Amino acid sequence: MGILAYVVPPMSLFHFTEDRKKELKQRVIDNSLLEVLSYPQSKKDELIEDMIYWETQRVKRVSWGFKKKRELSYWNRFRQRYVKTLDEEDKAYIFKEAIFNYTDEIVGNFNPKTYRFSVQIIPRFLDFLMNASSLKRFYSYTKSFINENLVLTGDLERIGKLSHEATLIYTPTHVSNLDSILIGTALHQAGLDPVMYGAGLNLFRSKLIGYFMKNLGAYKVDRLKVHELYKNVLKEYTTSSLEMGFHNLFFPGGTRSRSGAVEKKLKLGLMGGGIKAYIRNLQHKKKNKNIFVIPMNLSSHLTLEAETLIDDFLRAVGKSRYIIENDEFSKPQRIFSFLKTYTKLHSKTFIHFGDPLDLFGNQVDQNGVSMDRHGRTIDIQKYVEKNRKILLNEDRDQNYTRELGQSLLEVFHKNNRVLSTHLVAFTLYEYIASQNKGDIYQFSRKHAYFKPIPVGVVCEQIDVVRKILSDLSAKNKISYSDSLRKKTSSEILHNALRIFATYHKRKTIYRKGNEIYIGDIFLLYYYHNRLVGYNIEGALRGSL
Amino acid sequence: MNKVGVIGSGNWGTTVAHLLATNGRDVVLCTRNREVLHEMNEYHTNKKYTGSSPLSKKIKATQNLKEVTDHCSIIFVIVPSQVFREVSFELGHTVRGDQILVSGTKGIEKGTCKTMSDILKEETCCKKVGSLSGPNIANEILSGQPSGAVVGSHYEEVIHDVIDLFSTSVIPHKDPGSSSYFPFKVYGSYDLKGVELGGALKNIIAIGSGIATGLGLQTNSKSFLVTRGLGEMTRLGVFLGAQKETFLGLSGMGDLVTTCFSTLSRNNTFGRLLSQGKSKEAILKEIGMVVEGVYTTEIAYEISQKFQIPMPITEGLYKILFERASVEVVLKGLLKFDVTYEDEGYKTVFTEAKHLLVNKFPTPEYLF
């Protein structure tokens, strides 16, 4: 049986052929245009004016030389055309041109050959880099980077089954640019199909990484295009791709967590496309109409870009106003050193696939039927009905997406896996905060004068925090694994010290004799933040 | 599906059902009490809760919850907060995702720190939930006096549909010579949390105000208490995710003033009896209805202790209610409380959390 013979949604990216790509583009153009033309006159004008203004601003900021001149004159001509438009038809033409161009720019590509090549070669290439001295190890698959350093948990069988019956949206937590590579590898390891995902334009610029991005289903997201028309086209792209049955991946945090904490607030703009696609599926009476959300938790001991991220966080206090282009991810030697640390220390990245949710934030059973908290089945079609008619309602659907966001946040916190580096950093930072008044800015100015902390005291404090973690874990609020539970606090401290001694330019903490010194308070704060959000600091009050 | 459901036949439940019915809606009222059921269907009164006020004949009382969920697209749930979860769970068996649930109960759940709309969302599959709250003394409304309320919800649809239900609601004025009819005015608010917490937390201050009345204190002292009380309510509300401004609206300030100055309010009456030296248990028995403020005091005190939110009035009342402290000692303690500036409470909260720049998610409720 040929691949195309059984194609009904959901579709794997392997079915993203040239024809389907054309179809997707056409859908995006048609739907976006239909929506825009339904707006009142004043809104249409606003959309065009905003577009011209923001595009000109963008060109002035990022382009240079001949390209800048050419683009500026394009938008200038565009402006003149708009000023001269007299009737609706002309305006519709302007919209059509803009939407066509944006769709053409956004659309991704998938090349099965590149995919097969990359899933087979990349891991071996990594191993080769890591173990260039040992050819024996290079050939032994069981000892590969992925097998040793990537741990997948969760109900993979069920997700695999669902992926054939429904369209899936994977929503991982996000700390590093390496995440998408890790997730791609993890999906392959778990026997799941590759997915469509949006990647910032900056990732396409690098020749090597850009090549893989372009051919592995990534679509382009230009975060400098901030006007509504572009965002609408982008949203329509995800909506239409979900409607066609392609599995998608969104980072619901919107960008890498700058503070190092688990996402506390989600950007759900693109997620909203899920409900829209579901409603369209219902209206077209599709057989496989369901769309499910798979929350994923990525946890690792160290973060590649920790230094840059925390610096940006403290500058902008979490507003992430800058798009970081020049971070550790753009320096191959840093990536190499990071991966080396990983293999040498047998440090692991844990990827947990959470239980599937429906688009309204409800749990889903083995057969893809939504359930309430007491296991009673829910007819989710009712959510989008009003007087027995299936209807779109922007305000209502946004609220549903917000409910989903709330459920996702809870799942992210529940499945957040405590690792030794986070535990030690949290304990030490809280200890410092209890001994000294102030916040991270003040600590950063005076931490050179902090007294070193005796190892015995640190171990005692770790035990106090572990006790609270056990309680939280018993209430199913955090993932505190058995392997960490079984270790003694001095083993945990030792493990964290060993990991902190590598990779980063400065050691986060280090040991001298029988005392622990703080080497980089920003990094300590960064790794500490992973455990913020559980009021552990409140429970610690008085005991540190 | 054009009918409207009301669950609970207490005095606010009955009043809401009556308001809706006078506005031309067919109301299905669900009650567990057989006598009330019989009385409402036969004689159209509910003597225990709303006295001899005649109720609309468009109200049909039933004991069967399914009758409500089968025929109503909007359902008001107005039962005491202690049984709210249980009733919601039962409701969850038959309710569907397209229905709108509106809570009319003012309270916070003990041990979970959840509001009533949170419970509705947890126990049923419904997402479109809201809360109706405001300065509403049931007897005054039934006697035909003009009044209003606010419906809080994140959903535009809920706000519009509920406002529509009441939009032409009229109650004939009792005075036979008067031709004036007063509609029940309902406003909307997107700050669901604020609307709910305003209604719940004001009951604490109402008990305090009742005590003040009982002690013979006059307007000055009571205004002092109410204003400082509002500050305290706002502080806790903002911590739990509400907006400050909502506390200045009908569900905050409006409801607070009513309950603190009305002799008809249950919480106020409770406070007055308390100042006469009666025990908590005896008073509850005497009133015969649920006094939400007692439970809310306990819960608010617990939250304020856990997250170090300064709430001296609540703390004082907690001591009177649960630790049998003397009213006089508590009152003196309150006046001696070490605060220099009027807005000092906020400062303390923020210094506490200063070393954490990261948001404290997931909401405080997650931590219970």
Find which of B356, B359, B363 to mutate to test the A interface (most A CBs within 10 Å of its CB).
Answer: B356
* pLDDT value of position A134: 45
A272 close to A396: Cβ distance less than 8 angstroms: no
Q: Can you give the residue ranges of every domain in chain B?
A: 3-189, 200-367
Contact A264 B127 (CB under 8 A): no
* pLDDT value of position A3: 39
For residue A391, the distance in angstroms to the closest alpha carbon of chain B comes to: 11
Alpha helix (H) residue ranges in B31-80: 34-43, 47-50, 65-71
Q: Which of B98, B121, B362 sits opposite A385 (nearest CB)?
A: B98
Quick check: B86 contacting A, CB < 8 Å?
Answer: no
Helix (H, G, I), strand (E, B) or coil at B97: coil
- In the predicted model, is pLDDT for residue B273 greater than 60? yes
Closest chain A CA to residue B91: A376
Quick check: A399 contacting B, CB < 8 Å?
Answer: yes
Q: Which of B155, B357, B361 sits opposite A318 (nearest CB)?
A: B357
Mark whether B360 is an active-site residue.
Answer: no
Contact B92 A372 (CB under 8 A): yes
- In the predicted model, is pLDDT for residue B197 greater than 80? yes
* Catalytic option among B58, B128, B202, B319: B202
A–B CB contacts, 8 A cutoff, strictly below: 103
Closest chain A CA to residue B307: A538
**What is the pTM (predicted TM-score) of this model?**
0.89
- In the predicted model, is pLDDT for residue B351 greater than 50? no
Q: Looking at residues A504-528, what average pLDDT do you find? A: 90
Q: What is the ipTM of this complex?
A: 0.87
Residues of chain B numbered 309-338 and touching chain A (CB < 8 Å): none
Nearest to B200 by CA among B319, B293, B262: B293
Nearest to A222 by CA among A214, A213, A232, A230: A230
CA distance linking residue A263 with residue A410, whole number of Å:
10
Q: Which of B96, B361, B367 sits opposite A264 (nearest CB)?
A: B361
- In the predicted model, is pLDDT for residue A142 greater than 50? no
Number of C-beta neighbours around residue A61 at 10 A: 9
Give the H or E element holding residue A167: strand A167-172
Q: Looking at residues A316-328, what average pLDDT do you find? A: 56
Model confidence pLDDT, tens digit, residues B288-346: 777 888 989 999 998 888 777 888 999 999 999 999 888 888 888 887 777 777 776 55
pLDDT confidence band for B170 (50 / 70 / 90): low
> How far does CA B199 lie from the centroid of its chain?
4
Q: A237 versus A146: which is more confidently predicted?
A: A237
Please provide the distance, in angstroms rounded to a whole number, between the alpha carbons at the two ends of chain B. 38
pLDDT confidence band for A325 (50 / 70 / 90): low
Find which of B361, B363, B365, B368 to mutate to test the A interface (most A CBs within 10 Å of its CB).
Answer: B361
Model confidence pLDDT, tens digit, residues A170-184: 999 998 888 888 888
Contact A409 B361 (CB under 8 A): yes
Q: Looking at residues B115-133, what average pLDDT do you find? A: 95
- In the predicted model, is pLDDT for residue A453 greater than 70? yes
CB neighbours of A512 closer than 8 A, spacing ≥ 6? A452
Model confidence pLDDT, tens digit, residues A4-30: 334 455 778 888 888 889 999 999 999
CA distance linking residue A486 with residue A471, whole number of Å:
15
CATH 1.10.1040.10 fits B200-367, yes or no: yes
- Sign (positive or negative) of CA dihedral A420, A421, A422, A427: positive
B343 close to B354: Cβ distance less than 8 angstroms: no
Contact A265 B361 (CB under 8 A): yes
Nearest to A325 by CA among A350, A353, A305: A305
Q: Looking at residues A264-292, what average pLDDT do you find? A: 89
Closest chain A CA to residue B123: A373
Average pLDDT in chain B: 86
pLDDT confidence band for A144 (50 / 70 / 90): low
pLDDT confidence band for B277 (50 / 70 / 90): confident
Residue % of chain A over a pLDDT of 90: 44
- In the predicted model, is pLDDT for residue B215 greater than 70? yes
Q: Which of B124, B354, B359 sits opposite A264 (nearest CB)?
A: B359
Closest chain A CA to residue B367: A534
CA distance linking residue A213 with residue A207, whole number of Å:
10
A425 close to A528: Cβ distance less than 8 angstroms: yes
Architecture of domain B3-189: 3-Layer(aba) Sandwich (3.40)
